[in-house]
Amino acid sequence: MKRVALLAGAGLLSLGLVACGGKDAGEPMSEAKVAQQTADPARAFEAVAGRLKENDILGAVQLMVPAERMGELRAEWKKKMGDEVPSEEDRAEFAAMMTKLTASDAEQVLYAELEPALVKFESEMAAQMPMMIGMGQGFLMQGIQANTEMTEAQKKQSVDMVNALGTWLQTAKLTDRELAKKGVAVVVATARKLDLKALDDVRALDFDQAMGKFGIVFGGLKDIFALYGFDLNQSFASVKANLVSREGDLAKVGFSYSFLGQNLTGEAEMVEKDGRWYGKDSVEQLMKGLTEAEEEAVSEEVDSLQEESGEEAVPEEEAVD
């Protein structure tokens, strides 16, 4: 079963404090500002990185998605929250988790639970980490080279990132107790800023508000990574883009950025729609996702009608005369 707690446990550990010029969480950028920041392909690319640096997930989505599609995203979110009704078990688990994370003694309780895991990691896993990291790098490298959908430039960028991550993992102080305590404090502070006590609070959020909450957790995640020397804000701030070529409504943008001490470069394809520039891949993925969602909705509706009428669904191959 798909658990409605997607904004809860997974969200808390995977998605920052919305600090975008005093803008409230979930407040969209004006259309004029979006148009200004997407009028040029290179500027549009840099603008997305700027929004992510400021933990403005909603703003990043606005810059990455054509204006006419924002309404569809908002409608899809509303439908998803309305359809996925949580069980009483889901509700109880979420409430217990948020109560634990926001309690007055949350930092002490959580660290007491984490300490045995750190001890176990030190005694059982730490010595094997170099070998495991090397094996992981090799596995990822093979997957990158075997990918037929990536360009050579994309493969090189991915390989450089894997190497940088491997180097970082070899030196990161993953069992440092003081860093662990600070990390726990970030998790607790993030949970409190979310201000979500029940799953029904999550389901009541509209799309813009949900993006604001995603931003809160994204900021918390970045703060934890920064404790261990992985400064994503520095990477976002270092992004520089320039126009390589343009033909009609298509353009190629070259970009560079700093990632874990490595200077990386790459290229991205941009597409123009109504005078605004967007990442070609993000637009294509959105269109694919919306099409799949529509097909799934139609299929579910047909199945539902057939069940109500007592008919069985007919496989496509049997339906063709």
Q: Which residue has the tokens 């976002």?
A: 236
Res 237: pLDDT: 97
Q: In angstroms, rounded to a whole number, what is the distance separating the alpha carbons of residues 263 and 157?
A: 10
Which tokens is 234 given?
A: 């520095």
Strand partners, 254: 242, 267
pTM of the model: 0.79
Side chain identity, residue 163: N
- Contact indicator for 205, 57 with CB cutoff of 8 Å: no
Backbone angles phi, psi at 313, to 5 degrees: -65, 135
The pLDDT value given to residue 108: 97
Query: Which tokens in the block code for residue 297?
Result: 């909705």
Instruction: For residues 61 and 39, give the distance between their C-alpha atoms in angstroms, rounded to a whole number.
Output: 16
What's residue 225's pLDDT? 97
- Name the residue type at position 131: M
Q: Which of these, 303, 302, 304, 297, lies nearest to 79 by C-alpha position? A: 297
Over the chain, what HEC string results? CCCCHHHCHHHHHHCCCCCCCCCCCCCCCCHHHHHHHCCCHHHHHHHHHHHHHCCCHHHHHHHHCCHHHHHHHHHHHHHHHHHCCCCHHHHHHHHHHHHHHHCCCHHHHHHHHHHHHHHHHHHHCHHHHHHHHHHHHHHHHHHHHHCCCCCHHHHHHHHHHHHHHHHHHHHCCCCCHHHHHHHHHHHHHHHHHHCCCCHHHHHCCCHHHHHHHHHHHHHHHHHHHHHCCCCHHHHHHCCEEEEEEEECCEEEEEEEEEECCEEEEEEEEEEEECCEEEEHHHHHHHHHHHHHHHHHHHHHHHHHHHHHHCCCCCCHHHHCC
Question: What tens-digit pLDDT sequence spans the chain (321 residues)?
Answer: 333 333 333 333 333 333 333 344 568 999 999 999 999 999 999 999 999 999 999 999 999 998 888 999 999 999 999 888 899 999 999 999 999 999 999 999 999 999 999 999 999 888 899 999 999 999 999 999 999 988 888 888 899 999 999 999 999 999 999 999 999 999 999 999 999 999 999 999 999 999 999 999 999 999 999 999 999 999 999 999 999 999 999 999 999 999 998 999 988 999 999 999 999 876 555 545 444 444 454 454 445 444 544 555 455 445 444
pLDDT at 255: 95
For residue 57, how far is the Cα from the chain centroid?
9
State the pLDDT at residue 303: 53
HSE at residue 147, side-chain half, CA atoms within 13 A, is 16
pLDDT value at residue 197:
94
The 10 Å Cβ neighbour count of residue 305 is: 10
